[in-house]
Amino acid sequence: MKNWKFHNAFFIRVLFVMMLFFFCFFLIYKMFYFNAILVGSFALIMLAEMYFYVKSKLQFYDRTLLSILQDDFSTNFPEENKKDNFKSLYALYEALKSRHQEQTSKELIYQSLLNNIDTAAVILEKEDEDWKIFLMNDCFSRLFKVPKVSHWKYLKNYLPSLCYEIEKKEFSELKSAVSIKIEDQDLQTFILQTSRTQTYEKEYFIILLDSIQRVIEKKEKEAWINLMKIISHELMNSLTPIRALSQNLLQIVDQEKLEEDDFEDIKSSISTIINRSDHLQDFVESYRKLAMLPTPVKEMTQINALFDDCLRVMNPILKSEKIELINEINSSRSILIDKNQMEQVIINLITNSIYALKGKREKQLFLSSYTENNRFFIIISDNGKGIDPEIQDKIFLPFFTTRKDGAGIGLTLSKNIIEAHGGYLSYQTDEDKTSFVICLI
């Protein structure tokens, strides 16, 4: 029905041409040869007109479909073809043009994002049995001093060690360290991550490279920024009132005559200054403890004896807080540790659990241990309120605390002690329990 006008015009022309030829043959039959030639000529002209009419319509269809196939939407649709016979074709053309523009915009955004990240990235696209470079971001080109080449074989000329590492694994997914020589510089180590993905009939291979040194520097910088924020916060909490009180004292003593209320203000101000000074002194002392952690003096210590001593200290608090202790540690094994330092870690972790259990109806503290791959693990868990996701990356930072009476060095000090023993301290959290895991090698 949508092509009704085109079909009508075509069939009318066909019918008219057939009638002219029929009339021509009739004139020949009646021997009106001159009239038959005129009618026959007119019929031929009409036939030619019909041919060019149909051809023009088909050519427009072909041109439009070819533009769509070649993703060329630069041609404007003639106004007369936006309706009637070509209405559906125009709707298809406009819909595909809109999708193409949207896809192009997305590709530009993705490319802009890739070009602005600090990680070197290359995306390969498989073509037959070869790989061509689909996209190379600016970081990769700048970092390795490589022009934006179009084929894998050209990239091999610039970075043979990287390409060899990937080809050796047959373009499979991997994550490893790789040493790369950039021009005449020394070998540099990078973290290499690759992945392979397939979309429809296309296969892609993604290569990501990060300088280990840069990763370390970035982490160190983030740690220092977070540390300085916390230190600045602590210092300003004490220095601001000290300064304000000092100015107030100066104004009081500048008076010609001091009254009894002035003496009370002086006493109160001096008392507050002393308190804030003590807080600053404690803060500096805490920092000194972190910065000057003594080397562990290790000796063989029995696990049961270690926890018996710790629980002897903590049991009265656990009972007063009505916390159920589930102690699954029953090991006659001895480990090489600094007993005093390790007690400090365990007591601190149990204290944190006690704080996390405040406000809970059913309070449970779990202690367990196990050995795996010549490593000894101690797990201290509780069913408390857990660790909020927004602070999970801050809990080991010095002076970071969510407790009003906390100094914010307990977990940091514990982590430093475990690392000084050659192990590590980590945590695991789920809906039911939060666990701190001590690993000793």
Tell me which amino acid residue 182 is: I
- Please name which of 424, 441, 430, 276 lies closest in space to residue 374, comparing C-alpha atoms: 441
Q: Which two tokens stand for residue 61?
A: 């269809």
Instruction: Give the Cα separation of 90 and 104 in Å (integer).
Output: 21
Q: Give pLDDT, residue 294.
A: 72
What pLDDT, on the 0 to 100 scale, is given for residue 380?
92
End-to-end Cα separation, the chain, in angstroms: 82
Report the predicted TM-score, pTM, of the whole model to 2 decimal places: 0.43
pLDDT score of 1: 43
Backbone angles phi, psi at 179, to 5 degrees: -95, 130
CB atoms within 10 A of CB 3: 15
Q: What is the distance between the alpha carbons of residues 107 and 113, in angstroms, rounded to a whole number?
A: 10
Q: What angle do CA 412, 415, 421 make, to 5 degrees?
A: 145
Angle between helices 33-69 and 87-116 (to 10 degrees): 20
Phi, psi of 340 (to 5 degrees): -60, -45
Burial of 24 (0-12, 13-18, 19+ CB in 10 A): buried
Strands 174-181 and 187-199: antiparallel
Contacts of 299 (CB under 8 A, 6+ apart): 336, 337, 338, 339
Ordered mean pLDDT values, 10 residues apiece, the chain (441 residues):
53 72 73 74 75 67 71 65 65 76 76 81 87 89 86 87 86 82 72 85 88 66 68 71 78 76 79 76 64 78 89 86 89 87 88 86 90 88 79 64 59 84 85 86 78
Residue 325: name the closest of 271, 241, 382, 263 by CA: 382
Identify the sign of the CA torsion 410, 416, 422, 428: positive
pLDDT of residue 80: 58
Token code pair at residue 138? 């600016």
